[in-house]
Amino acid sequence: MSGSPRHFTTQLAVIGSGIAGFAASIFAINRKIVTAQVGNTGAVAYTTGYLDLIGKLGGTTDPVTDPWQALTRLRETEPKHPLCRVAADDIQRAFTEFTDFLGTCGLAYSSPGACNITALTPVGTLKQTLCVPATMAAGPRALAANAPCVIVDFKGLKGFSGAEVVANLRDRWPQLTTQRIVFPGMDRGEVYPEVMARALEVPATREKLAVALNDVAGSAEVIGLPAILGMHRPDHVLAELERLTGREIFEIPTMPPSVPGIRLRELFQQVLPQRGVTLIPQQRVTALSFADDGATLALSDSYGPIRVHAQAVILATGRFLSGGLEAHPAGIREHLLDLPVTQPADRSDWYRERYTDPRGHPIHRAGIEVDDSFRPLTREGRRHHERLFAAGVILAHQDWIRGRSGAGIAIATAFRAVTEAEHFLLS
């Protein structure tokens, strides 16, 4: 048996398989850069499917309805925020390019508009987001119009309750009601959104569900469902279910494990290799080294060791959950290159006294420093290497959860990192 490494050579290696990593690969292949992407599964499967730019500004509780105006404000109040290193036009272009790509893959999104969209959360609260999947678009419209609508949930489904959604929206949406039904063929035990979504790829299941939905919909013009409208062809499943029921239908994200995140992950894993990306998913890079003529990534899969030789590298390894940052008793470390991490001076400063403090917690702003070309910096403030770029929420000076800006930071910084990497490769 041979334990010899398998070698791949590429122009650009993207490390990380979250939104930032996949966005970087999309931007790269659109620019005809030969790309390899590696990295373990990341947190993409936890996403709601909404693509936020800015939903809240630091220290405030008011939702942001105009993210572009909020961006201007952010430049004044938080100039080190990663989004402040990206021009508004570039952010607009990045979102458009990213959502266009998804649309060509059967997962249509609304285009980034002038204002945020008021969207529904799994528990029936509201949030501001920039782009929503087509399968969810009718929800905000029906809410705005106070249309007669029934939220249908399913026996055995955990993590989504129609009653809870209605209870939280009753004052704002008087014509909202709820019903519970049995999903066709799943009348016993716990049922999972993922399983229902895959079952709805089968025409016979759609037909049975349409009958069950019409049985309880009454006079409702619109039906809201937990996000289960297919995994691989959601736009098609939505259209077919609307045709069969004769009603408008929308999805609401569910608590993890939720379909929209799995949908995105499987779409990326399916489509990117077809578009020429060498994708080695679910494997963590264990070493990254640089030489004058390129970089080398070391990793292993089930079969054995792998080496990826690249001219440039984008680090998009995320934060704690995805393994880009590690919390140790002595402090926070960047695991791959031991890049310096901007962080609170002492562990006791990581969190504020009150968990719900609107200012957030200092640890959530920890991350690596980059210059305007999105190259990570050393402790001395020099570039770690000309061939290294970084993108996504591993970057310091942002609290993406509190700012409702995770996708925005991922997509916008990936766009800039790829642009800079392209300049480097062309030079």
Partner 1 sequence: MPEIRTGNELMTESAVASINFKEAALKLLPEGANFEACLTCGLCSSGCPASGIENMDPRKFIRMAMLGMDEELSSTPWIWCCTLCKRCQYVCPMSIDVSQLVYLARGNWPEDKKPSGIVRSCQLTRSSDSTSAMGMPPADFVSVVGEVLEEVRATQPAFSRLQAPIDKRGAHFFVNQNSREPMSEPEEMVPLWKIFDVVGADWTYASKGWAAENFCMFSGNEDAWREVIRKRVDAVNELGCEVWLNTECGHSYYSMWHGIERFGLQANFRLESIVTWYAQWIREGKLPIDSRWNTNGIKFTVQDPCMIVRKAYGDAIAEDMRFVVRTLVGEENFVDMQPNRSANYCCGGGGGFLQAGMTDHRRTYGKRKFDQIAATGAAYVLTPCHNCHSQMHDIGHFYGGHYGVVHLWTLICLSLGILGKNERIYLGPDLRG
Give the footprint of partner 1 on this chain (CB under 8 A): 1-2, 40-43, 45-46, 185, 188-190, 192-195, 198-199, 201-202, 204-205, 231-232, 256-257, 262, 266, 269-270, 273, 279-282, 284, 301-303, 321-322
Count Cβ atoms within 10 A of the Cβ of residue 265 and give its class: 0-12 exposed, 13-18 middle, 19 or more buried: buried
Q: Which is nearer to partner 1, 30 or 40 (CB)?
A: 40
Q: Tell me, what DSSP letter sits at residue 283?
A: B
Measured CA to CA, the distance from residue 123 to residue 142 in angstroms comes to: 17
Q: Which residue has the tokens 């990826």?
A: 308
Taking the least distance from each CB to partner 1, the nearer of 112 and 318 is 318
Minimum gap (Å) between residue 198 Cβ and partner 1: 6
Which residue's CB is nearer to partner 1, number 67 or number 193?
193
- The nearer residue to partner 1, 301 or 386, going by C-beta atoms, is 301
Minimum distance from CB of 246 to partner 1 (Å)? 24
What is the DSSP secondary structure assignment for residue 182, as one 8-state letter? Answer: P
Rounded CA separation 112/99 (Å): 8
Q: How far is the CB of 46 from partner 1 (least distance, A)?
A: 7
* Smallest distance from partner 1 to CB 334, Å: 16
Cβ 321 to partner 1, closest distance in Å? 6
Residue 279 contacts residue 269 (beta carbons within 8 Å): yes
Q: Nearest-CA neighbor of 350 among 340, 334, 339, 361?
A: 361
Question: Which is closer to partner 1, CB of 158 or CB of 170?
Answer: 158
Cβ distance 54 to 404 under 8 Å? Answer: yes
327, containing H or E segment: strand 325-328
User: Which of 45/83 has CB closer to partner 1?
Assistant: 45
Distance CA 292, CA 236 (A): 49
Tokens in use for 168? 């939280």
Task: Give the shortest CB-189-to-partner 1 separation in angstroms.
Answer: 4
Q: Is the peptide bond before 257 cis (omega within 30 degrees of 0)?
A: yes
Q: Which is nearer to partner 1, 17 or 179 (CB)?
A: 17
Supply the minimum distance, in Å, between the C-beta of residue 278 and partner 1.
10
| Closer CB to partner 1, 182 or 321, in the complex | 321
Helix (H) or strand (E) holding 308: strand 304-315
Q: Token pair for residue 51?
A: 């693509």
Instruction: Kindly tell me which of 174 and 257 has the beta carbon lying closer to partner 1.
Output: 257
Closer of 30 and 283 to partner 1 (Cβ): 283
Spatial contact of 237 and 229, defined as CB atoms under 8 Å apart: yes
| Contact call for residues 351 and 363 (beta carbons, < 8 A) | yes
Dihedral sign, CA of 244, 245, 249, 251?
Answer: negative
- Give the C-alpha separation, 375 to 314, whole Å: 9
Shortest distance (Å) from residue 415 CB to partner 1? 25
Smallest distance, partner 1 to C-beta of residue 6, A: 8
d(CA 321, CA 326): 9
CB burial class (10 A; 0-12, 13-18, 19+) of residue 287? exposed
CA distances from 357 to 40, 66, 354, 366 (A): 32, 24, 5, 17
Q: How far is the CB of 216 from partner 1 (least distance, A)?
A: 24
Q: How far is the CB of 349 from partner 1 (least distance, A)?
A: 25
Given the complex with partner 1, which of 128 and 135 has the nearer CB atom?
135
State the Cα–Cα distance between residues 94 and 112, nearest whole angstrom: 10
